[in-house]
Amino acid sequence: MVELLKSTIPPMIVMGGLAAIFAIGLGIAARVFYVYVDPRIREVEEFLGGANCGGCGYAGCSDCAAAIVEGKAPVTACILVGPENYSEIAKIMGVALEEAEEKKVARILCRGTPDKAKRRFEYMGIEDCRAAALVAGGVKDCEYGCLGLGTCVRNCPFGAMTMGEDGLPKVDIEKCVGCGTCVRVCPRGVPHLLPVSQNVYVPCNSHDSGKIVKAICEVGCQGCGICRKSCPEKAITIDKFLSIVNPEKCKPEVCELKCIEKCPNDVIQKIAA
């Protein structure tokens, strides 16, 4: 028994000594590498949406909270919450509540259904628009048109999008929070975030010349400028052959939608209230 004790005590002493050394080392490392985390970050995060959708422009809610605390983002940065949460965040930060920007929702800037937009071939690959766009630039002659494989629909974290029978995605405005996920995953830039109050817009994304658009799509904007000339509020500009409506200047109740009336291709649309 004595011999057994003699043989086990030295290793125990060694192990105990090593444990003590490691403990001291960890304690020193903890102090040397300690990173202070502002407790307000956790407090702010509790009043954010919690969806980690990236709509605020940050990787997730923790990053958004940190940006707010550091003064890099406004207290209204989270698009998922409302005035009550903004007010609580402002109290934590000790600042006055800023006026939140108007909510934006996704609009699909393409009406190029199979019967309206010409196709070059039939795609038989992976059901993903990003993959399809890599095959000879996509099936449509229009390099700006929706490829219709539903990548935006599958990636919408709020279930606000569905594929329509016409092969184009549809947006449920009641469910859309304007997180911008659909915008980020679309290889063609078809979904755009527009102010929810904007009820006149151009559902086209093409910057091709009028001659090219006329040859490949029946419902594309040809950039003719007639809408711009007919708008009494000067709310329409032409950006690389594409008509753009400025929602701040557009006043359909005043102009009686002359842009829609004059458009020769029935491109400009009014969204039903």
CATH code, domain with 61: 1.10.15.40
Percentage of residues in the chain with pLDDT exceeding 70?
Answer: 87
Please tell me the total count of domains within the chain: 4
Residue 160's CATH number: 3.30.70.20
**In the 8-state DSSP scheme, what is residue 100?**
P
Q: Are residues 113 and 160 in the same domain?
A: yes
What pLDDT score does 82 carry?
86
The parent domain of residue 63 ranges over 39-93
Phi-psi region of 252 (alpha: psi -120 to 50; beta: other; left: phi over 0): alpha
Does the pLDDT of residue 10 top 90, yes or no? no
Torsion of CA 179, 185, 186, 189, to 10 degrees: 60
Q: Decide if 221 is inside a domain.
A: yes
Q: What is the mean pLDDT of residues 162-168?
A: 95
* pLDDT for the residue 29: 64
Q: Are 107 and 205 in contact (CB under 8 A)?
A: no
163 lies in the same domain as 214: no
Quick one: average pLDDT of 217-225?
Answer: 94
Q: Is the confidence at residue 36, as pLDDT, over 70?
A: no
> Average of pLDDT values for 242-255?
90
What band does 146 get if pLDDT is binned at 50, 70 and 90? very high
How confident is the model over 263-267, as a mean pLDDT? 90
- The reply to whether 126 and 67 lie within a common domain is no
- Of 59-63, 183-187, 253-257, 265-269, where does the model show the most confidence? 183-187
* Structural domain ending residue among the three candidates 93, 128, 161: 93
Confidence of residue 192 (pLDDT cuts 50, 70, 90): very high
CA dist., res. 212 & res. 233, Å (int): 29
Structure confidence at residue 273 as a pLDDT band (50, 70, 90): low
* Final residue belonging to a domain, choices 160, 188, 216: 188
Same structural domain, 58 and 114:
no
| Total residues found in the chain within this entry | 273
Mean pLDDT of 152-175: 95
E strands, 67-211, in order = 104-108, 161-163, 169-171, 191-195, 200-201
Is 162:172 a contact under the CB 8 Å cutoff?
Answer: yes
Amino acid 32: pLDDT:
65
Q: Categorize the per-residue pLDDT at 13 as very low, low, confident or very high, splitting at 50, 70 and 90.
A: low
Tokens of 173: 């405005």
| pTM exceeds 0.85, yes or no | no
Q: What is the pLDDT of residue 1?
A: 54
* Banded model confidence at residue 149, pLDDT cuts 50, 70, 90: very high
Q: What percent of the chain has pLDDT over 90?
A: 66
Q: Are residues 242 and 258 in the same domain?
A: yes
Alpha carbon distance 186, 178 (integer Å): 15
More confident residue, 176 or 98: 176
Specify the pLDDT at position 45.
93
What is the pLDDT at residue 54? 86
Do 163 and 231 fall into the same domain?
A: no
pLDDT for the residue numbered 55: 86
Looking at every residue in the chain, the average pLDDT score rounds to: 88
Asked if the structure places residue 220 within a domain, the reply is yes
48 domain residue, yes or no? yes
Task: Of 8-22, 46-60, 98-112, 157-171, give the range with the top mean pLDDT.
Answer: 157-171
Shared domain for 234 and 169, answered yes or no, is no
Q: What is the identity of the amino acid at 272? A: A
Q: Is residue 193 part of a domain?
A: no
**Residue 163 falls inside a structural domain:** yes
Same domain, residue pair 29 and 49: no
